[in-house]
């Protein structure tokens, strides 16, 4: 890939795991399209940080991924910014409980939309540009794609679909585009710290064979492996969870 083509779109990249992924890609000489929806201050802070390291190497684009028109605009702007794109990281995701019997249609549309529908149509829209660059796609799945998280049925269903999305697109887009996924475990505590007590955290850590919570950089490094060091790998989902999925 030429420097002109070496551009990456990371959805939900303003903070947390998405921001760490963006920083790792930027350090590997990728130009970055930082997608955000609600987190505008964080998005522009990150863009300024990256541009201070390498001028004109990052931009921020706002889009509601559950709005198809905005999603298509995001794809168009991302592919045109540096006259091509070589990497799509589908990181943006809604996550919250939906107790069965109380879940709403709006919950369904939001969780399925952000975790499954948007990644599919974003990949479809960017496929020609990605194919031209012999690029790749990395989807962020979840260990609960295989074994559901109690009280989070819609989210678990959406991530199960995301896993199959990865395998299906790997077949559909070969040989020009590789498609893989990452299934994180306990990486970051929920943003609403008050919703998870110290006792809850201890119980969760006790279920992890490596006895520690992962870091955002663990996901970023796994993505970098799939992007830069695994040219013969496609259709795979790499679990990064400290062994948590062994004990679910």
Catalytic residues: 155
d(CA 155, CA 108): 8
* Strands 7-10 and 58-62, bridge-based pairing: unpaired
Provide DSSP, 58-84. Answer: EEEEE--TTSHHHHHHHHHHHHHHTT-
Side-chain-side CA neighbours of 62 within 13 Å: the count stands at 8
Neighbours of 4 (CB within 10 A): 12
Query: 131 and 173 in contact (C-beta within 8 Å)?
Result: yes
DSSP 242: T
Helix (H, G, I), strand (E, B) or coil at 117: helix
Is the previous residue joined to 135 through a cis bond, with omega within 30 degrees of 0?
no
d(CA 82, CA 3): 9
d(CA 208, CA 182): 18
Query: 177 and 131 in contact (C-beta within 8 Å)?
Result: yes
Side-chain-side CA neighbours of 89 within 13 Å: the count stands at 31
d(CA 244, CA 248): 7
């Amino acid at each position: 890939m030429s420097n002109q083509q070496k551009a990456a779109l990371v959805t939900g990249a303003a903070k947390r795991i998405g921001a760490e992924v963006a920083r790792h890609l930027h350090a590997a000489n990728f130009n970055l399209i930082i997608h955000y929806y609600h987190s505008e201050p964080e998005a522009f802070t990150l863009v300024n940080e990256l541009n201070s390291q390498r001028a004109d190497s990052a931009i921020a684009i706002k889009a509601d991924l559950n709005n198809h028109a905005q999603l298509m605009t995001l794809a168009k702007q991302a592919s045109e910014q540096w006259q091509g794109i070589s990497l799509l990281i589908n990181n943006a995701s809604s996550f919250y409980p939906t107790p069965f019997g109380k879940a709403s249609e709006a919950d369904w549309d939001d969780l399925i939309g952000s975790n499954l529908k948007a990644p599919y149509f974003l990949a479809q829209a960017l496929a020609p540009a990605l194919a031209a660059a012999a690029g790749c796609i990395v989807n962020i799945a979840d260990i609960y794609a295989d074994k559901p998280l109690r009280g989070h049925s819609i989210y678990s269903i959406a991530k199960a679909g995301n896993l199959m999305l990865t395998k299906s697109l790997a077949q559909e887009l070969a040989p020009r585009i590789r498609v893989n996924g990452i299934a994180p475990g306990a990486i970051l505590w929920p943003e609403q710290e008050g919703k998870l007590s110290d006792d809850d955290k201890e119980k969760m850590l006790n279920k992890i064979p490596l006895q520690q919570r992962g870091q955002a950089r663990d996901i970023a490094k796994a993505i970098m492996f799939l992007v830069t060091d695994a040219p013969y790998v496609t259709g795979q989902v790499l679990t990064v969870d400290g062994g948590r999925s062994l004990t679910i």
